[in-house]
Structure 1
Amino acid sequence: MVTETESTEKRFIARWAKHFDEKRYFRFNVEQGLQVVTLAEYKEQGKIEAVTGEYLAHQSQKSRV
């Protein structure tokens, strides 16, 4: 599920279309800053948390949340 996020999202939306249409679905997707962190680099937790925090603190995400 983690490594196939795009196809997983499509299947999820297809299954829960009503919730998606009612804006009850939101995908947290950090777009910048984690491109070089792979699943094997779980020790980078501090960086992952910092970049995710920046993503969530951005005004466009605050209003969505």
Structure 2
Amino acid sequence: MGGLGRAGTIASTLLIEAGDSAHDAVDRVRSARRGAVETQSQMEWLKKHAAKGSANVPAD
């Protein structure tokens, strides 16, 4: 299957920006699509993104 890593990374990024931790976001994506976020470098990028906070999300 192609695109599992990229699609899962994007989906996890959106969940992180909505307030999930990197771990929770990846778990949620993997519960819907087994094997998502395939590489360690993708996971590390998500952790760094989550550590920056969700400053890119506009306030209501």
| Structure having greater relative contact order (Cα 8 Å, sep ≥ 6) | 2
Q: Which structure: larger Rg?
A: 1
TM-score normalised over the length of structure 2? 0.33
Q: Structure 1 length as normaliser, TM-score? A: 0.31
